[in-house]
A and B are shown apart, each in its own frame.
Chain A
């Protein structure tokens, strides 16, 4: 059927050079291709609205962000991608380093908080997931929770924790720890938490479920999964570390960038603008429960607001430095 459609589309466009000059037709809506490392479930409904709201048609190809980065690098100038929408903006650094990104205009970059954009102007953050502890509210109060991430290594948490070492956000956060603490201290912390015998989960959401059911008291997760659950029947709450700048408070930033050499630079930029516009930022806040990057956009009523000053000073690129992290996790038997 696709082939049929393609054939129809081709036959509907007769060779123009042989025809006499016609009055110029109204320009057709430009079409751009987006490589999306963000899942269809999260951003599919949003990307469906691009055409109606910007006049730009989009075709989306989903994949993991690293896979899409490799594809763009391999395809080079022939890449169909005009825009790349990354789950972890740090991995866009590889594209930027290879000179594959078109720097965004200053005035566009300035629309988000400085923490939420690339220093070299290659990409702009669109929304963030905060790393938090999810805890069971029937057995713990916030006052009893650790004041810093380091304190999770306290033996008093033995048998009460959960984590997901094979999960991408876990590994990104450990990469952030390596950046802040250095490898030795990170390794020491991992070993101490390991000694607390945390229950191992494949990913975030089962930890939230387990915390809600009291199977564990504390899980180490991204904040937004909790809000997907039926809050009435889930006695669990998110907790961020009260110490400003604590390395536990890390925001994993999704971001977008334009491929250098795209034929549709204007349309692509239009879509980037739309992604950091008030309306779209509101979508991230209310529909995916994420943190908007544009100042002044309110978070979902159930999600406490975030001041960028609370966050650890870790560049997004540090979170994409996963190679040595995996070696460390392997050595500790965690991966």
Chain B
């Protein structure tokens, strides 16, 4: 067991070391840009930074993320309040439906919203909607996509507040506005701040929506620079993304810490009240927007694309290969992510060591970085290693075998798997092991009979979360996956959508959402049982 613990510790350190690799790749691209294969000299750091468009990209990325955070806080925060404090018909059903956008990747929401709400779309045309700019459209899409996260975080915080404080405020003569300010808001502030920062980080890292809508922001232009092999420019965009992400990340960790320390001694839920007409309208409108744009519109639009293809007799490519490839990539990726997360979860879950804290920060930081940045950094490191060692075979082995793809998925989602795993480790009583030893149980039997059932729920939850996340993932899949010959549903949706073969894109998109929804339903049901 001692060697086992040491192995876990080493595992945690390995993950920390791996987490640095993409950043090294970005640094290499900036400091020592590879020669442009198409003959042009690599632009210098200064010239890329000085280009007026670069500043625009930074400004757009910031505008988008701040706007998304504000919008998501408004919509998600209000819905959380309504769910916890108001009593209106269909509350539970709407609450559950409102979580479904979690199963739909942002590129599908963006593509279907652009199609349906555009001036020529089936909703936009009758309503006479104008063509929205890409930035405005992406803002709306990302608000819808992140609002459920805000709703979950703020809802949990609201559920922890106690009616006692509000009642005390009322007996002292405070009106509703003042009661909210004095008794509720201070308790919610950490959750609101944390939820806002999550949305901010989500929006600044998003690739799918901004790619589909061609919004000039850092992530999308970074991808385009890689696609056209303007690697020096990609390096500068990557560096700017790191510079923007790091402080946000630091803030979100700080806020999270602040939120966990406040607990009420004997919580008692306040009674729900019937909403007035304005509050009811706002609530139903919020639900309608989130469920409508986030779930109904994507499903209806993709269904329409498929139906149009059938009507016109267009040929459909068989989706079974991609379906299998997707399941395979997501399952292997989830296992690998789990393997990466075990060491850190153990070290961080066992007591409050300095190493544990460092590992935890490292894990969360890694997954806070945009996927397109991670993938670019990894490719850069592989490229420089191969050039330095003169080994084309090395490059081929790293990229073609799927090693980089697996590592990319692992680093991107290690934090999401780490969460439930760490909780399981914290809940695991080390005295069990001592008892088993005293009773003379062999190590394997202990593992099978005691440790696995105790840790099992956390492991399974982690695997499912990793599976869903990888299923929906786009930039890492595009940049690191193509060399493996795997063709996943995400890859096919992207390919077909870009070639305007909407019937095929719709079919693959529906399958992808179906697979994610099934896994999500499984997770939720199973969590309720656990």
Interface of chain A, helix or strand or loop or mixed? helix
Residues of A within 8 A of B422 (CB): none
Chain A residue nearest in CB terms to B51: A330
- The residue among B37, B119, B391 with the most chain A CB atoms within 10 A of its own CB is B37
Question: CA A209 – CA B324 in complex, angstroms?
Answer: 34
Q: Using a CB-CB cutoff of 8 Å, which residues 468-502 of chain B contact chain A?
A: 482-485, 487, 491-492, 495-496, 498-501
Write the nearest CB–CB distance from B105 to chain A, whole angstroms: 18
B36, B395, B482: the one contacting A61 at CB < 8 Å is B482
B393 within 8 A of A: yes
A45, A80, A203, A324: the one contacting B317 at CB < 8 Å is A45
A32 within 8 A of B: no
Write the nearest CB–CB distance from B495 to chain A, whole angstroms: 5
Q: Are B53 and A333 interface neighbours, CB within 8 A?
A: yes
Write the nearest CB–CB distance from A283 to chain B, whole angstroms: 13
Question: CA A70 – CA B36 in complex, angstroms?
Answer: 9
B37, B213, B496: the one contacting A41 at CB < 8 Å is B496
Q: Are B400 and A80 interface neighbours, CB within 8 A?
A: yes
Chain B residue nearest in CB terms to A40: B495
B178 within 8 A of A: no
Write the nearest CB–CB distance from A39 to chain B, whole angstroms: 5
Task: Tell whether A225 pairs with B500 under 8 Å between CB atoms, given A71-B483, A78-B393.
Answer: yes
Task: Tell whether A40 pairs with B501 under 8 Å between CB atoms, given A2-B328, A91-B38.
Answer: no
Task: Tell whether A41 pairs with B38 under 8 Å between CB atoms, given A67-B229, A75-B396.
Answer: no
Query: B217-241 vs A: 1/0 string, CB under 8 Å?
Result: 0000000101111100000000000
Question: CA A169 – CA B125 in complex, angstroms?
Answer: 29
Q: Are B37 and A70 interface neighbours, CB within 8 A?
A: yes
Question: CA A44 – CA B95 in complex, angstroms?
Answer: 43
Q: Using a CB-CB cutoff of 8 Å, which residues 286-327 of chain A contact chain B?
A: 320-324, 326-327
Chain B residue nearest in CB terms to A33: B485
B272 within 8 A of A: no
Q: Are A78 and B392 interface neighbours, CB within 8 A?
A: yes
A63, A80, A230, A323: the one contacting B38 at CB < 8 Å is A323
Residues of B within 8 A of A69 (CB): 37-38, 229
Residues of A within 8 A of B36 (CB): 323
Q: For chain B, give the interface size range.
A: 35 or more
Chain A residue nearest in CB terms to B324: A1
Q: Are B396 and A40 interface neighbours, CB within 8 A?
A: no
Q: Are B119 and A63 interface neighbours, CB within 8 A?
A: no
Q: Are B40 and A324 interface neighbours, CB within 8 A?
A: yes
Query: A85-102 vs B: 1/0 string, CB under 8 Å?
Result: 000000101100110000
Q: How many contacts between A and B, using CB within 8 angstroms? A: 135
Chain B residue nearest in CB terms to A73: B37
- The residue among B226, B228, B308 with the most chain A CB atoms within 10 A of its own CB is B228
Residues of A within 8 A of B317 (CB): 41, 44-45
B383 within 8 A of A: yes
A244 within 8 A of B: no
B32 within 8 A of A: no
Question: CA A79 – CA B393 in complex, angstroms?
Answer: 7
Write the nearest CB–CB distance from A195 to chain B, whole angstroms: 19
Residues of A within 8 A of B387 (CB): 74
Question: CA A228 – CA B308 in complex, angstroms?
Answer: 12
Residues of B within 8 A of A42 (CB): 499
B177 within 8 A of A: no
A140 within 8 A of B: no
Task: Tell whether A75 pairs with B229 under 8 Å between CB atoms, given A41-B496, A70-B37, A202-B213.
Answer: no
Q: Are A94 and B38 interface neighbours, CB within 8 A?
A: yes
- The residue among A74, A201, A228, A333 with the most chain B CB atoms within 10 A of its own CB is A74
Question: CA A59 – CA B483 in complex, angstroms?
Answer: 11
Query: A175-217 vs B: 1/0 string, CB under 8 Å?
Result: 0000000000000000000000001011111001110010100
Q: Are B483 and A40 interface neighbours, CB within 8 A?
A: no
Q: Are B395 and A71 interface neighbours, CB within 8 A?
A: yes
Q: Are B485 and A59 interface neighbours, CB within 8 A?
A: yes
Q: Are A40 and B487 interface neighbours, CB within 8 A?
A: yes
Write the nearest CB–CB distance from A74 to chain B, whole angstroms: 5
Q: Are A66 and B229 interface neighbours, CB within 8 A?
A: yes
Q: Are A94 and B37 interface neighbours, CB within 8 A?
A: yes
B529 within 8 A of A: no
Residues of B within 8 A of A202 (CB): 134, 212-214
Question: CA A40 – CA B226 in complex, angstroms?
Answer: 20
B131 within 8 A of A: yes
B386 within 8 A of A: yes
Chain B residue nearest in CB terms to A225: B500
Q: Are A213 and B120 interface neighbours, CB within 8 A?
A: yes
Q: A61-B482, A79-B392, A166-B214 given. 16 additional CB < 8 A pairs?
A: A41-B496, A61-B484, A62-B495, A66-B38, A67-B226, A75-B393, A78-B395, A80-B400, A94-B37, A94-B38, A166-B224, A201-B214, A228-B500, A323-B38, A323-B41, A323-B230
Which A residues contact B (CB, under 8 angstroms)?
1-2, 39-42, 44-45, 59-64, 66-67, 69-71, 73-80, 91, 93-94, 97-98, 166, 168, 199, 201-205, 208-210, 213, 215, 225, 228, 230, 320-324, 326-327, 330-331, 333, 335
What are 21 contact pairs spanning A and B, CB under 8 A? A41-B499, A60-B485, A61-B482, A61-B483, A61-B485, A62-B487, A64-B227, A70-B229, A70-B383, A80-B396, A93-B38, A94-B38, A166-B214, A166-B224, A168-B228, A215-B120, A321-B39, A322-B38, A323-B39, A326-B230, A330-B52
Which B residues contact A (CB, under 8 angstroms)?
36-41, 43, 51-53, 119-120, 125, 131, 134, 212-214, 216, 224, 226-230, 308, 312, 315, 317, 324, 328, 383, 386-387, 391-393, 395-396, 399-400, 482-485, 487, 491-492, 495-496, 498-501, 504
